[in-house]
Each structure stands twice: as C-alpha cells, then as structure tokens.
Structure 1
Amino acid sequence: MLKMVDVYSDSPRSYATLSYTDITMIKATQGTWYVNPKCDVDYQAAKKKGKLLGFYHYCGGGSAKAEAQYFYKNTKNYVGEAVPAVDWESYQNASWGDSNYVRQFVDEYHNLSGVWPLIYVQSSALNQVANCSKICGLWVACYPSMNWKSWSIPKMNVPTSPWKTYTVWQFTGDNMDRNLVNTTKDGWRRLAKATKAKPAEKPKKSEWKKKAGTFTLSQSLEIHKSPHIESDSIAKLKKGDTIKFDATLQGPKRLWLRQPRANGTYGYIVARDKYNKPLGKIK
C-alpha cells in the first residue's frame, strides 16, 4: 500500500513534498466561489519531487452540476495526470444529507473529463453516496481517535459497504491528514485516466414473424396502409369486428398485425398500443 498526504491552503508547504509519502492530494476548489491559491504551488512542487498526484473539490452544496463544471474548469490541466476526488462533508455544505448530490456531481464531472473521481466521505455517512459505489472509488475517513499523530497504521475495522473495500483510507486528520492507499503506483496512474464509455447497443431491427390467426377488436380501430400509426387509413372497424392476419411485427412501441387483402396487398392494424395495452383478442 502507498502513503498519501492531503493538503490545503493552510497546510505547511513542506507537506506536499514529504520524503516518506508516495502521493500528494491537494484541495483545488470549493463550491463555485473558491480556488485554493496554493493548489498549483503544491502541485508543481510535488510533481518536481516525483510524487503521484491528486486534486479534490470540496462540496458547498449549491448546484451539483455547476460545482462539477467549476471544478473541471479550474483543474482541467491536471486531468489525465492526477486523480480527481470530490470531498463530501457536513461543514459549509448546504446539501448535506442529500443522497443524490454526489451522484449528480460525479456524472457531470465524468461527462466533462471522462474520469470518475474518488469520493471522500466519513464512514458514518456512506449511505449518502452509496449510489456511486459501482462507478467511483471510495476515499473513506475513519479514525481510531482524534489524537493519532503517527503514520503507524491503526488496527481497526473500516466500514466500506456498499463498496467491497476502500481505495483510500484517511486514518488521521489531526496535525496532518494521513492516508493509506490500497493500490500500486501503476494502479493510481490508471485511476487518473479517462474511461471509455461503453458503446451503445444498436437497436434490433424489427422483423415480421409469420403467424396466422384472428384478431377481435375491443374498441374501434383503423386498418393502415403501412405499419405506422400516422399512415393513411384503409378502413375503419368497430368494436367486435374480427379480421384475419398472417404475420406480426413487434415495433419499438406497438404490436402490429398484417392483414392479407385483395390483389396481394396488405393492411396493418395495431394489436397492442405503446403502453403494451391489448386492443383486442388474438386467437
């Protein structure tokens, strides 16, 4: 496992380049009004020392999409090189308790960057971000005490459900935010990279299936020139009328029946509407 320190504007600048840490995580933005003036100072110093890098946004609880856009706009030069994260805490957060907020944030950030950010949250509030567990890594805060001023790893159970495990565990936040990272250096670099969207499945082409039978209408319907609800009407039938059909077509919205007519032509009638409601009885 790797050691990570996370820093903000009031941290000693030396924290960004500690000799015994592997990763430097830096606060970048908050809400839609704040950019850490020391963010790039720490970022470039850590990068020069060969540190792996991360950067995070502290949620202010305004519009989730607007905050994600603000975060991306002010840090887009880091995308692909450093791992992004979103910090979900109660302090100065107008939307604390909203279990959909972070999901909206990460979806918008992914739309902009192609990267899924880590989610920072205290272990007692995992339920507020549970709907992100299948797409984002977990950065969980869980302390053995508020006076743990050491890099010695405490022996304790760390709640992570519904995640199987954490990506990052912050185990102290007293004089320094100390974190244990549950991956390799290459694994951390992969977290910084954009993920390819799953290709959309091509819709299956609707095809006629040969099937003979009768259809008795349960309401007035029209027979159409083609299997489209806006196509011209050939005939109007009333409730109780019965027609013969020789094929069926399950379209995107409606079930159509094909009626053989004179001179080798066909008529078409809807048997189930767009709500899958049957409009008559098929035998």
Structure 2
Amino acid sequence: MTIKGIDVSSYQPAAYSTRGLDFVVIKITEGTSYTNPRWVAQRSTARKAGLVTGFYHFVRPGSMKAQADYFLSKINLVAGDFLVLDWEDPGVSGADKDAWIKHVQSKAKGHKVLLYCNVDYWLNRDKTSFAGDGLWIAQYNGRPGKPSIQAPWLIHQYTSTPVDTNLAKFASREAMRDWAGGRATPKPSKPKYEPFPGAAFFMKGSKPALGKSSKVFTAMGKRLVAVGCGLYKVGPGSELGEADVKSYEAWQRKCGYTGSDAKWPPGKTTWDKLHVPNT
C-alpha cells in the first residue's frame, strides 16, 4: 500500500493545494547560505492540512557538518517530522552524503533521516549503499511506485508534472507519522477538580474544622503550593491544619479579596479558580 505526497521549494507558492495528499517535503536550505524564503509558510500549509511533514537540504560541495548544522538551525522539529538530504550535485561524493546523514542522525535523535537521489546517482555514483533510514528514489519512468532498482526504497518520485509527486510505502499518513519519529511534547496535565463541598464542610460551628481528615484537604494543599500560596513547613496532608487555613486565606487575597471576605472558609469562586485555572 502507498500514500501520495509532493515536495516543494521556492518555485511553488506558499499556499499550494493539499487535496488528495498525505505528506509534503519542503526544501529549507542549500549549502550554508541559502534558505527558501517560503518554507515557513509552506510548512504552515502542510500543518493546517494535517499532512506528515518532511524537510530537505540541497547539498553542495564543502563542509558536511557546517551544512547539516545550518539546515538544523532553521527547524523547530516536532514529532512526526522527517529529514532528507537532496543529493544532486556531482561535486558531492558518496562519502560526503554519508557524513551529512550520520551527523544529522546524531543531532536529530529519533527523527528519520532519508537520502534523495535519482537512479543514476544510486547505481553509478554511490559506493556505500547507505541511505540513512530510507531511500527516496527519483525516476520518471511512467510506473508510479515501481522504480527500476533492486534496492529497497521508501519513497518514489515518479513525475515533476505539474509538481514533484511521490508515492511512499505506508498504509496511511498516521503510519508514516509514527515511522517518522520524534518525541511529542507532553500535554500539561490538568489538576484534578475536587467539587466544592460547601463552606460548612470547612467549619466547626464558627471556627475552622482543624483536625478534620479528608482527601479534599490534600488536593487543596497541593493546589495552593502550585499557585505559590502554600505556607507549609511540611507538605500538605489529609488533616486540616492552621497552615491550610493561612495558605487559603493568602490565596483569597491573591484573588483580590480583602478584609473579612478573604478570611476562612473557602468560597466556591476562589475554589474553582484554584482547581480549574482560568475559570
């Protein structure tokens, strides 16, 4: 099974058509001085369409490390992005392309790094058969998904009309994204909401219910610490203590209450603000 994608450079518009596509590969850099002026906008187009996104560097003769570092300095990688070396310059040797790929693999750990080249380069110029994490082969042979090489390939660029178009050996864009690797940025965990139990819960007649035990007090204390109002010498526990009372009164003052309005017991408005930020 295969999925369809395109590759773009400054020759394509920032807002290109994504209809029927699952991935796009965007040129970012060339050598150590050129940057595609449209690549950020082209990435935005891909991201908004939910496409798997790859980025490539057009390699030139010179320092492979300097070119790789220049390329990587432009990108803020996210999980599911992959990287490519575009090998088309005859002044770049097979050893050079190996060095670039290995350096990028060492710097962008977890993200797959591919080699792009045409059939002539792969069969007649390459001496190591090293393509990093996969070979992206270019051959316009009129047989999409069937390049005339025996080596394993991952992506086949089969035409340049009207834009460079490719098939990739994946069952779905989700499968390709999982393969591409990288670590997802963990989503911040939402604090557990303890429903407001009513003001009477916190009182013994007209006084705070000191010594009363409940998981509510533990959760409350942890949230007070998180918002910078925890006046505890020891971490908050399940029994209501004077530190809990003083800490909560500090929180009510932080919420803008003064005088008797800031005194114990908690009110539902400040309770919800404490447990559900931005409410």
Which whole-Å CA distance do the structure 2 matches of 1:104 and 1:119 have between them? Answer: 12
SS of the counterpart of 2:73?
helix
Higher share in helix: 2
Q: 1:168 aligns with which of 127, 134, 155?
A: 155
Equivalent residue letter for 2:135: L
For the 8 Å contact 2:145–2:167, the answer to whether it is kept is: no
For the 8 Å contact 2:4–2:168, the answer to whether it is kept is: yes
Under a length normalisation based on structure 2, what TM-score does the superposition of the two structures give? 0.59
Deviations 1:78-108 (A, max 9, x none): 2533111110003xx632xx12011100111
SS of the counterpart of 2:128?
helix
Shift of 1:134: 6.8
Higher share in strand: 1
CA spacing shift, 1:112–1:79, aligned 2, 3 Å: farther
Q: Which residue of 1 aligns with 2:216?
A: none
Shift of 1:156: 8.1
Matched, 1:177 2:164: yes
Gaps of 5+ in 2: 184-279
For the 8 Å contact 1:110–1:116, the answer to whether it is kept is: yes
Q: 1:138 aligns with which of 115, 135, 141?
A: 135
Matched, 1:159 2:151: no
CA spacing shift, 1:79–1:102, aligned 2, 3 Å: farther
Q: 1:105 aligns with which of 84, 100, 103?
A: 100
Aligned residues: 179
Q: How does 1:8-87 map to 2 (within 5 A)?
A: 8-15=9-16, 17-75=17-75, 77-87=76-86
For the 8 Å contact 1:102–1:129, the answer to whether it is kept is: no
For the 8 Å contact 2:84–2:113, the answer to whether it is kept is: yes
Under a length normalisation based on structure 1, what TM-score does the superposition of the two structures give? 0.58
Which whole-Å CA distance do the structure 1 matches of 2:56 and 2:6 have between them? Answer: 13
Matched, 1:187 2:175: yes
Q: Which residue of 1 aligns with 2:116?
A: 120
Equivalent residue letter for 2:159: T
Which whole-Å CA distance do the structure 1 matches of 2:46 and 2:176 have between them? Answer: 15
Which whole-Å CA distance do the structure 2 matches of 1:193 and 1:159 have between them? Answer: 29
- How large is the Cα RMSD of the aligned pairs? 2.2
Equivalent residue letter for 1:188: M
Deviations 1:15-41 (A, max 9, x none): 3x4211111111011111111110010
Gaps of 5+ in 1: 146-153, 196-283
Higher relative contact order (CA 8 A, sep 6+): 2
How much identity, in percent, do the aligned residues show? 27
